[in-house]
Chain A
């Protein structure tokens, strides 16, 4: 079936709301306006104001309310407009949602699902464009996932709702309009294991979410130049699936990490370290990464483009690692 990432998420929300009356959606402008990215358009007409709730502009209040509802037996889906705004409710997420199972000695679980848009590329400027996934991937008690394919956009929400603990889904805003063929088989989605999206023998390109397609495109270009790249889609940013990552690196002996976060303290840094710790003697080239420039993401289109990982910068970095002079 031909569809977009936006529609895939909307139909996932629809299905969840239909199948479980404990599920409800809340967030800023998710109801009457249909969501800032139009993901929930039409859902309030279908499910009513009780279940598709517009909230005041207070992330701390409505994320806290979601955590409370989850503790009370509901299955809330809370939309935070972008990860940038989630800093206002960092306290609720890190100090409450992530800790309560531990602090109650396992008596309470917080089955809340937080959806956040992340990433740049749509000229939304520095307060709406950052990729802060790794801040959350740092925190024990959270599961952090990022769909990169249509199937994962359609299927991850169901799996996240089944999880008894808080799950954060990062949806890259550049994906929503993307169109593609959605496979019928919903069982191919997994929020625990990384997936090899392209098999290759020369180098492992490790990426997730909004950069998956850029990386796959880069792999195609590299193939024309005789470099056979493998593409690993992390899917889960916390916990990381070391097994799949290492199996790929042990096969190809090289790794380039693609991460839209800033380089310093990035998820790419963590993954690189795990490879160094566990597969050092399998490496045939220095590890390398393609991250965002360490600047607030610019508004101007050409500067924004220059600040982000792009197909050509991925290709260039891979050639460098392969010892091809560029």
Chain B
């Protein structure tokens, strides 16, 4: 048996409020399933189970606030029992498989004796979840008093299903929006209070990168086309190889510089607010891999289906406000990271090229970095390296 604990969903997370269970005792879970939603100061996040098995007991109820590491539920792994928590019958040797009462019950058609798990057909259970109806409260008319599909349908009532779902979804969306606003507020307040930012900005000629990109995309089918943000991300990851002190965390009064580059990508949501999911190992992946992961993350961020693990571990953040038509972003560091890079819109500007004026496509890159960890000189080198890398897009 294993314990399902509240994971740390970020270096700075101390506690969270349990909002919803997606499973109940007796349900089978597979490693990687999202089985609960918790609200942290980053918003409502689905958390995954890291072991396959059966949910034995749920220990924390919705709306309870608990510290990181708290046991939320116990999971009985793969049919075996271990440890001391399981009562044993005399005569059953310790290394035996699960005792008989743990085995799936035979489907004999008898009314359930008291204390047994309520009989709900698999199809009815699934339908009840879709309708947000609690099948435990439904009177079953199936074999052995089991709750059937029809029982779920009639208990939901003719109009209720859609109404219930819409109502719940709306309420959840509202709750999520307000909690996200609070989460953003907590993060930026902490950032401005604790982190002495310094800001640098430079304008980069993006014409070679965009020309290369357009040539690439002309040969690609629509789903495989790259967006220019991928090149920016690759350039940031590349520049960090030269100026690593922008990559990592400031914790316990010291900078912890990291080798691996996990980039938090700020994604604004159409409903307001923003999420910063992580693209991992950006320095090791090619643009095609990044593109596939990036579009998947954006889609799921906007549909509210990110996993908790995808909001963790970013070592630097990139924010691009290109679509909003601003020239320059003055970003705020996402604590406890060391830096954040901002990109404005691509604009056409007259620039000298080989001593002659030319119309070029230009983007402003800006850096906000933690002055406790680095100085402006290194920051300037970092931006210059991004510029240099973007002039040779084919090598990114």
Chain A: residues with CB nearer than 8 A to chain B?
A: 253, 280-287, 320-323
Listed by A's residue number, 26 A-B pairs whose Cβ atoms lie within 8 Å are: A253-B121, A280-B122, A281-B122, A282-B122, A283-B121, A283-B122, A284-B121, A284-B122, A284-B123, A284-B124, A284-B142, A284-B148, A284-B149, A285-B121, A285-B148, A286-B107, A286-B109, A286-B143, A287-B107, A320-B143, A321-B143, A322-B143, A323-B141, A323-B142, A323-B143, A323-B148
CB contact under 8 A between A253 and B149, given known A285-B143, A323-B143: yes
Contacting A at CB under 8 A, from B135-159, are 141-143, 146, 148-150
- B 87-126 binary contact with A (CB < 8 Å = 1; else 0): 0000000000000000000010100000000000111101
The CA of A321 and the CA of B148, in the complex, are separated in Å by 11
Dominant secondary structure of chain A at its interface with chain B = loop
| A283, A286, A321 — most chain B CB neighbours (10 Å) | A286
The CA of A321 and the CA of B123, in the complex, are separated in Å by 14
A284 CB to closest chain B CB, in angstroms?
Answer: 4
Q: Which residue of A lies closest to B143 (CB)?
A: A323
The CA of A159 and the CA of B141, in the complex, are separated in Å by 47
The CA of A323 and the CA of B119, in the complex, are separated in Å by 13
Say yes or no: A285 contacts B126, CB within 8 Å.
no
Say yes or no: A253 contacts B107, CB within 8 Å.
no
The CA of A318 and the CA of B48, in the complex, are separated in Å by 41
CB contact under 8 A between A283 and B109, given known A323-B142, A323-B143, A323-B146: no
Q: Which residue of A lies closest to B145 (CB)?
A: A323
Given contacts A282-B122, A282-B123, A284-B122, 16 further A-B contacts (CB under 8 A): A253-B123, A253-B149, A281-B122, A281-B126, A283-B121, A283-B122, A284-B121, A284-B123, A284-B148, A284-B149, A284-B150, A285-B121, A285-B146, A286-B109, A287-B107, A323-B143
Q: Which residue of B lies closest to A321 (CB)?
A: B143
B183 CB to closest chain A CB, in angstroms?
Answer: 35
The CA of A113 and the CA of B45, in the complex, are separated in Å by 62
The CA of A286 and the CA of B121, in the complex, are separated in Å by 8
A254 CB to closest chain B CB, in angstroms?
Answer: 9
Which chain B residues lie closer than 8 Å to A253 at the CB level? 121, 123, 149
B179 CB to closest chain A CB, in angstroms?
Answer: 32
The 9 tightest CB contacts between A and B, nearest first, are A286-B107, A323-B142, A284-B123, A284-B121, A284-B149, A323-B143, A281-B122, A284-B148, A281-B126
A271 CB to closest chain B CB, in angstroms?
Answer: 15
Which chain B residues lie closer than 8 Å to A286 at the CB level? 107, 109, 143
Which chain B residues lie closer than 8 Å to A321 at the CB level? 143
A320 CB to closest chain B CB, in angstroms?
Answer: 6
Q: Which residue of B lies closest to A317 (CB)?
A: B109
The CA of A282 and the CA of B124, in the complex, are separated in Å by 8
Which chain A residues lie closer than 8 Å to B146 at the CB level? 285, 323
Q: Which residue of B lies closest to A287 (CB)?
A: B107
A222 CB to closest chain B CB, in angstroms?
Answer: 15
The CA of A281 and the CA of B121, in the complex, are separated in Å by 8
| A282, A321, A323 — most chain B CB neighbours (10 Å) | A323
Which chain A residues lie closer than 8 Å to B143 at the CB level? 285-286, 320-323
The CA of A97 and the CA of B123, in the complex, are separated in Å by 43
The CA of A112 and the CA of B150, in the complex, are separated in Å by 50
Q: Which residue of B lies closest to A325 (CB)?
A: B143
Q: Which residue of B lies closest to A253 (CB)?
A: B123
Which chain A residues lie closer than 8 Å to B107 at the CB level? 286-287
The CA of A283 and the CA of B143, in the complex, are separated in Å by 13
Q: Which residue of A lies closest to B147 (CB)?
A: A284
The CA of A284 and the CA of B149, in the complex, are separated in Å by 6
The CA of A282 and the CA of B123, in the complex, are separated in Å by 5
Say yes or no: B148 contacts A283, CB within 8 Å.
no
The CA of A320 and the CA of B150, in the complex, are separated in Å by 16
Which chain B residues lie closer than 8 Å to A280 at the CB level? 122
The CA of A286 and the CA of B107, in the complex, are separated in Å by 6
The CA of A283 and the CA of B124, in the complex, are separated in Å by 8
Contacting A at CB under 8 A, from B331-377, are none
The CA of A287 and the CA of B109, in the complex, are separated in Å by 10
The CA of A287 and the CA of B107, in the complex, are separated in Å by 8
B42 CB to closest chain A CB, in angstroms?
Answer: 33
Q: Which residue of B lies closest to A286 (CB)?
A: B107
Q: Which residue of B lies closest to A323 (CB)?
A: B142
Which chain B residues lie closer than 8 Å to A322 at the CB level? 143
Which chain A residues lie closer than 8 Å to B150 at the CB level? 284
| B122, B124, B149 — most chain A CB neighbours (10 Å) | B122
The CA of A281 and the CA of B122, in the complex, are separated in Å by 5
The CA of A286 and the CA of B112, in the complex, are separated in Å by 14
A128 CB to closest chain B CB, in angstroms?
Answer: 34
The CA of A253 and the CA of B122, in the complex, are separated in Å by 10
Which chain A residues lie closer than 8 Å to B123 at the CB level? 253, 281-284
Which chain B residues lie closer than 8 Å to A283 at the CB level? 121-123
The CA of A282 and the CA of B109, in the complex, are separated in Å by 19
Q: Which residue of A lies closest to B107 (CB)?
A: A286
Which chain A residues lie closer than 8 Å to B109 at the CB level? 286, 320
A58 CB to closest chain B CB, in angstroms?
Answer: 45
B158 CB to closest chain A CB, in angstroms?
Answer: 20
Which chain B residues lie closer than 8 Å to A281 at the CB level? 122-123, 126
A314 CB to closest chain B CB, in angstroms?
Answer: 16
Which chain B residues lie closer than 8 Å to A287 at the CB level? 107
Q: Which residue of A lies closest to B149 (CB)?
A: A284
A326 CB to closest chain B CB, in angstroms?
Answer: 10
Q: Which residue of B lies closest to A283 (CB)?
A: B122
Which chain A residues lie closer than 8 Å to B121 at the CB level? 253, 283-285
Which chain A residues lie closer than 8 Å to B124 at the CB level? 284
Which chain A residues lie closer than 8 Å to B142 at the CB level? 284-285, 323
Which chain A residues lie closer than 8 Å to B122 at the CB level? 280-284
| A253, A284, A321, A323 — most chain B CB neighbours (10 Å) | A284
The CA of A320 and the CA of B145, in the complex, are separated in Å by 11
Which chain B residues lie closer than 8 Å to A320 at the CB level? 109, 143
